[in-house]
Amino acid sequence: MWLSPALFLMLISILTSVCLVVSSPSLFISWVGLELNTLAFMPFLLSKKSKLASEASIKYFLTQTLASILILVGGLGLSIKLGAAPFHSWVLSVAEASGWLSIFTLLTIQKVNPLLILWMFCPLSMEFFYGVVLSSLVVGGLTGLTQTSIRSMLTFSSINHVGWLMTAISFGLGVGVYYFLIYLATLLCSIIIFHMFNVSHVNQLSLLNFKPSNQLLMFFALLSLGGLPPFLGFLPKWMVLQLTISYSMLLVAGVMVSMSLLVLFFYLRLMFSSFIMGGLSFTTFIKAPLPLPIFFILLFAMSGGGLALAYFL
Amino acid sequence: MYRFIANKLLVPSTCVRGLDFPGVFVPSTSFHEYRKSGYVDKTQKKTSTRESIRNGLKELKQEIKNWTAEVKDGVMMDPIMAMPLPGEVDAQWFFNQNTNFDDWVVTADSDHNEGHSTCSFGVSPVGKGLFSGNLSTQLVKDGKVKNAGYCNIKSIRPLKSFKRDSFHDWSAYTHLVLRVRGDGRSYMINLGSAGYFDINWNDQFHFALYTRGGPHWQVSKIPFSKFFMTSKGRVQDHQQAVPLNRITSFGITAADKINGPFRLEIDYVGLERDPTHTEISAYEQYKTPYFYAGY
CB contact under 8 A, B290 and A269: no
**Cβ-contact B90, B84 below 8 angstroms:** yes
- The predicted model scores a pTM of 0.81
At residue A297, the pLDDT reads: 62
pLDDT attached to residue B8: 56
Of A55, A96, A148, the CB nearest to B79: A148
Q: Which of these, A255, A224, A223, A222, lies nearest to A241 by C-alpha position?
A: A255
Q: With bands split at pLDDT 50, 70 and 90, how would you rate the model's confidence at A76?
A: confident
Q: Please check whether residue B264 lies inside any domain of the structure.
A: yes
Domain for residue B61, yes or no?
A: no
| End-to-end CA separation in angstroms for chain B | 44
Mean of pLDDT values over B167-171: 92
**What per-residue confidence (pLDDT) applies to A259?**
92
Range of the domain at B212: 2-7+84-272
Contact predicate B87/B219, CB 8 Å: no
Asked if pLDDT for residue A78 goes beyond 90, the answer is no
* Minimum distance, in Å, between the CA of residue A117 and any CA atom of chain B: 32
* pLDDT tens-digit map of B51-106: 989 988 999 999 999 999 988 887 777 766 667 888 889 999 999 999 999 999 99
Tens of pLDDT, residues B126-143: 999 999 999 999 999 988
Q: What's the whole-number mean pLDDT along residues B159-186?
A: 93
What residues 232-291 of chain B have any CB closer than 8 A to a CB of chain A? 238, 240-241, 243, 245-246, 273, 275, 290-291
Q: How far apart are CA B212 and CA A133, in angstroms?
A: 61
When divided into structural domains, chain B yields a total of 1
User: Where does the pLDDT of residue B286 fall: very low under 50, low under 70, confident under 90, or very high at 90 and above?
Assistant: confident
pLDDT at B112 over 50: yes
Comparing CB atoms, the residue among B83, B195, B240 nearest residue A55 is B195
Range with lowest mean pLDDT among B26-35, B82-91, B276-285: B26-35
Q: What is the CATH number of the domain that holds B147?
A: 2.60.120.430
- Tell me the per-residue pLDDT of A126-149, one tens digit each, with 9 for 90 and over: 677 888 899 999 999 988 888 888
Say yes or no for a CB contact (<8 Å) between B80 and A148: yes
Calculate how close chain B gets to A61, using CA atoms only, in Å: 13
Average pLDDT over residues A186-205: 82
3-class secondary structure, A175: helix
- Contact by Cβ (8 Å): B121, B108: no
Give tens-digit pLDDT for A147-182: 888 899 999 999 999 999 999 998 888 999 999 999
Q: Each residue of A250-290: pLDDT tens digit?
A: 999 999 999 999 999 888 887 776 676 655 444 444 344 55
Strand ranges in chain A using DSSP code E only, listed in sequence order: none
**B58 within domain boundaries:** no
Three-state SS annotation for chain B: CHHHHHHHHHCCHHHCCCCCCCCCCCCCCCCCCCCCCCCCCCCCCCCCHHHHHHHHHHHHHHHHHHHHHHHHHHHHCCCCCCCCCCCCEEEEEECCCCCCHHHEEEEEHHHHCCCCCEEEEEECCCCCEEEEEEECCCCCCCCCCCCCCCEEEEECCCECHHHCECCECCCCCCEEEEEEECCCCEEEEEEECCCCCHHHCCEEEEEEEECCCCCCCEEEEEEHHHCEEEECCEECCCCCCCCCCCECEEEEEECCCCCEEEEEEEEEEEEECCCCCCCCCCCCCCCCCCCCCCC
Do B273 and A203 make contact, defined as CB atoms within 8 angstroms?
Answer: yes
Q: What is the pLDDT of residue A215?
A: 72
Average model confidence (pLDDT) across chain B = 86
- Binning pLDDT at 50, 70 and 90, where does residue B26 land? low
Q: Indicate the pLDDT class of residue B19, thresholds 50, 70 and 90.
A: low
| Residue B218 placed within a domain | yes
Comparing A142 with B188, which gets the higher pLDDT? B188
Give residue A285's pLDDT: 40
Residues sharing a CB contact under 8 Å with residue B97, sequence separation 6 or more, in sequence order: B123, B127
Q: How far apart are CA A171 and CA B271, in angstroms?
A: 51
Check CB contact of A62 with chain B, cutoff 8 Å. Answer: no
Task: Look at residue A288 in the predicted model and tell me its pLDDT.
Answer: 44
Indicate whether B182 belongs to any domain: yes
Is B44 part of a structural domain of the chain?
Answer: no
**B209 in a domain, yes or no?**
yes
Q: Is the peptide bond before A230 cis (omega within 30 degrees of 0)?
A: yes
pLDDT digit string (tens) for B227-267? Answer: 999 998 899 988 999 999 999 999 999 999 999 999 999 99
Read off the pLDDT of residues A200-220 as tens digits, 9 standing for 90 and up. 887 777 654 556 677 777 888
B295/A contact by beta carbon, under 8 A: yes
Query: Between B84, B275, B295, which is nearest A207 by CB?
Result: B275
- Pick among A203, A209, A265 to test the B interface (most B CBs inside 10 A): A203
In a domain, B288, yes or no: no
Inter-chain touch B203–A59, beta carbons under 8 Å: no
Residue A282 confidence (pLDDT)? 42
Give the residue among A78, A108, A77, A91 at the shortest CA–CA distance from A14: A108
Contact status of B109 with chain A (Cβ, < 8 Å): no
Please, which residues bridge with residue B129 across strands? B123, B266
Contact residues, chain A, for B75 at CB < 8 Å: 142, 145
Query: What mean pLDDT do residues B145-169 have?
Result: 93
Please tell me the distance in Å from A147's CA to the nearest CA on chain B. 7
**Predicted pLDDT of residue A135:** 92
Strand B260-272 with B89-94, pairing: antiparallel
Lowest mean pLDDT among A60-69, B9-18, B183-192: B9-18
Query: How many Cβ atoms from other residues are within 10 Å of residue A152's Cβ?
Result: 20
